[in-house]
Amino acid sequence: MMVRLFVALTVISIVGAALTQPQARSQTQPPLVFRVTGESQAFPETAVLKFTIVGEGETLGKAQEHLQQIEQAVFKTLEKFGIQKGQIGTERFAVIPLQPSISSGVPSPIALRPLGYRVQRGYGVTMTASVETLDKLLQIADAVLQQGARPTVTTEDRYGYYPERVPYTLIEFMVRDPDKLIQQAMDDALNRAKKLAEQATQHIGDVKLKLVRLTVSNIQTFPERRTITPEGRDPIGTFVWQPIKVTVQAEVAFAYE
């Protein structure tokens, strides 16, 4: 009798498990997926004064001597503002032969002797930037230009410039930690997606949300300007004193139970 009861109970438990298993599967819900945009912004924290000194002469030696004369005057001016020579970095250097113009009737293979040489050296000085220091930055830039320095020509292509308009750079603003600004935009996107998920599950009752996927599809900065530094970092910069904005487009998926 006990054996028959045990067998009956076993059969009932197996049947019960078979009936409840599909029900448990049917309760598994697909994740909630949201496509959101996160934003962050910050005012610049550093400024880079960019200028170029040009020396010309009949020989390379005279061109370099001319450049050094202007350089000494510029460096002495910067020292008056508390900027030492060690804080001034060389960003580019070029030697350009000054060729005479060639008329269309002269055969191209003829090698012409240069009329002289031009030596160009580009410099960069990194300084702290804030609203309070903007006037001082302009005073430093004006003093450097008065000593013979020139704004630096931006060689890379930039959106919004016509070919006949050569863009120049004198002061460039940037944030110290661009990765932090991007992370803040990603956090903002995640928080927005979480609020949407909470609103979508309000009718269910008390549920627990679990992040199962976060995919970033696009990261944009405004203004669209990025500069590679000698250290290899890629800070987000702008030529205008204004907030630097980052937008992140992401797809966020939540499971809930």
For 182-205, the pLDDT digits (tens) are: 999 999 999 999 999 999 888 887
Over the stretch 231-251, which tens digit does the pLDDT of each residue have? Answer: 444 556 667 788 889 999 999
Structural domains in the chain, sorted by start: 30-43+177-256 (3.30.110), 46-100+113-174 (3.30.70.2970)
Within 10 angstroms of residue 190's Cβ, the number of other Cβ atoms is: 18
User: What is the C-alpha separation between 71 and 123, in angstroms, rounded?
Assistant: 10
Residues sharing a CB contact under 8 Å with residue 76, sequence separation 6 or more, in sequence order: none
244-256/32-42 β-pairing: antiparallel
Point out which residues pair with 215 in neighbouring strands: 251
Share of the chain above pLDDT 90, in %: 47
Tokens of 233: 């970092």
Query: When comparing pLDDT for 2 and 154, which is higher?
Result: 154
CA 9 to chain centre: 69
Across residues 116-129, what is the average pLDDT?
93
Tokens of 187: 């956090």
Q: Per-residue pLDDT for 106 more than 80?
A: no
209-222/171-174 β-pairing: unpaired
